[in-house]
Structure 1
Amino acid sequence: MIVAILQLIVVQFILPAYFIYSLWRGKYQSRLDWILHGLLALLVISWGFFSSPWSWFSYYLRFAWVLLFIVVFIISWRKARELSFWLNDTGKQKLSLGISVLLISIFGMYNVWVFNGFSTNEQAIELDFPLKDGWYYVGQGGNHVQLNYHQSYPEQKYALDVLKLNQFGMRATGIYPEQLSKYEIYEDTLYSPCTGEIIEARNDLPDLAPPKADLKNPEGNYVKINCKNENTTILIAHMKKGSILVEAGDAVKTGQPIGLVGNSGNTTEPHLHIHAEKDGKGVPIRFDGKFLVRNSLVW
């Protein structure tokens, strides 16, 4: 987890700060030089804005970087607009140009992958969102591994991990607390996302303090619902011990309470895991007609 936090610090603080500062203080030899530096900074900010999970330090921080980039972009343009367009023909400047083009290609491809993950051509099923009390944030979701690690697992493809934000845009009080009560989503009521029948349920596994995880029982406490007229199984996982209100064979209706969010099973922290499965493969989910991806909000 320390490695994951360090990665977030790099993507959400160090990279945007470095490229924005470089754009502001750069000594440009030509307008082409400025254009390349500006484009590179834009691609880095865009990639971090869309692909990084922003609920750790603050959801609002991502907008602060965009605003700062716009201000610096305007300031730097005022310095570069009187320059000639072409670079002087020197080896050092050609090397700088080559490095910029290489980095633009890399971060450009990152952005393409992210934007491709915002939609899917596969047929999606329509569900009701299973949480109703607050600002909910999608931590894992979308159609590419840069947005959703579940894409690597065929049966969980298109799965969503959902958190809840407090007034500061953070999912918890603290960076990674051990106390479950410090996570905003812990013990929130879960509602059935569809009308159907409970085909499996488990209710007896303990809630674990982060970073502990139960690798032998990955779903933790869960319910599986066979949605009426969809021939699709919905899994809602990591529920609170003793909170599940239904059992196998029960009929449920859309919006019916079924239990509470917990932290049981193979999980890093309290959250809702939900995915739809048909014939052993994950299928896309839409809530109110929307295909949710990382950094989506629902309220």
Structure 2
Amino acid sequence: MLIVLPAIFIMMLWKVSFKSKLEWLLDSLVTVVLIVWLFQAGNWSWIGYYFRFLWLILLIGAFIFSWKKVRNLPFVTKYTLNQKFSIGIYVVLLLVFGTYNAFIVKSYTVDEKGIELTFPLKNGTYYVGQGGNQVLMNYHNSHPAQKYALDILKLNTLGTRAKGLYPKELKKYKIYEDDLYSPCNGKVVNIQNDLPDLPPPKSDPENPEGNHVTLLCENHDATILLAHMQKGSIVVSKGEKVKTGQKLGNVGNSGNTSEPHLHIHAEKDGKGVPITFNDRFLVRNSLVR
């Protein structure tokens, strides 16, 4: 979808012979809202984070080239039944993709007060695969306890999360075995450390968190869960007090997970609590360097 769909719409804008400026305008608007939607909501870590900027460049080029072809046409003309049908399709698509973009705008903001944490990973470019206050950007959003959860990946120099599209070898994922640090001063309230790391696409729905550390941070009454850690890597104990930046263990692929990543969320009384890093509320496609 991140390649074929934008390619089709940009090619149509570039190649189609329009009968009026109205047809061109509707086609252009549909293409713009489609590209903007995919730019923000697509998970670009699969084919390359920086690849998404190529579509913006091609969109600008197609817009300029097509305008040169239609600038002398009338704004409206007498339309055949097929042309009227096409205009109707443009209007429907504009409403659909426009609505998607409106939902995405919502995902960037929260009304609730968030918990400020220190980012728990270092030495790399980290990518938010799931995050935000809307289910189109963050599938966790439909689960009350994980409403503001983040799934974090690490990008290589090509802007992808792994060597290959979906490798089974865990070490081909850039984030696998990365050191994981405490995001706050606090106390360890629970750990799990003996579950296996599974080769994708295997998962363990019986133990959804996998190996994990649960923290109760100072000055907050919400618990922080860091999940899917590497088997045997956890170096803190239940009841231990920890400092911000203290190593907790390593990122793994245990539990109900599709591939190596860090899952982190804050929860209070069964409800998700927003978390921020340096006052940033992270959403899908956010980068932390």
Unaligned runs of 5+ in 1: 1-10
Task: Establish whether residue 137 from structure 1 lines up as the match of residue 124 from structure 2.
Answer: no
Give the match for residue 20 of structure 1. Answer: 10
Task: Establish whether residue 291 from structure 1 lines up as the match of residue 271 from structure 2.
Answer: no
Task: Establish whether residue 175 from structure 1 lines up as the match of residue 175 from structure 2.
Answer: no
Amino-acid identity (%): 57
- Deviations along 1:178-197, one digit per CA (max 9) or x if unpaired, are 00000000000000001110
- Contact (CA 8 Å) 1:221, 1:238: kept in 2 or not? yes
- Contact (CA 8 Å) 1:211, 1:269: kept in 2 or not? yes
- Contact (CA 8 Å) 1:138, 1:162: kept in 2 or not? yes
> Aligned partner of 2:283: which letter?
V
After superposition, the CA RMSD in angstroms is: 0.8
Unaligned runs of 5+ in 2: none
Q: 2: CA distance between counterparts of 1:272 and 1:92?
A: 51
Q: 2: CA distance between counterparts of 1:89 and 1:39?
A: 20
> Aligned partner of 2:44: which letter?
W
- Deviations along 1:22-77, one digit per CA (max 9) or x if unpaired, are 00001111111110000001011111111110000111110011111111111101
Give the match for residue 191 of structure 1. Answer: 181
Give the match for residue 94 of structure 1. Answer: 84
Q: How does 1:203-214 map to 2 (within 5 A)?
A: 203-214=193-204
Give the match for residue 70 of structure 1. Answer: 60
Q: 2: CA distance between counterparts of 1:243 and 1:193?
A: 17
- Contact (CA 8 Å) 1:23, 1:73: kept in 2 or not? yes
Please say which of residues 67-76 and 87-96 is displaced more in the overlay. Answer: 87-96
Q: Give the one of 54, 57, 73 matched to 2:44.
A: 54
Normalised by the size of structure 1, how large is the TM-score?
0.95
1:239 Cα deviation after fit? 0.4
Q: 2: CA distance between counterparts of 1:92 and 1:165?
A: 47
Give the match for residue 244 of structure 1. Answer: 234
1:141 Cα deviation after fit? 0.2
Give the match for residue 19 of structure 2. Answer: 29
1:212 Cα deviation after fit? 0.7
1:120 Cα deviation after fit? 1.1
1:92 Cα deviation after fit? 2.4
Q: 1: CA distance between counterparts of 2:268 and 2:78?
A: 60
Secondary structure of the corresponding residue to residue 121 of structure 2? coil
Give the match for residue 125 of structure 1. Answer: 115
Q: Give the one of 265, 268, 272 matched to 1:278.
A: 268
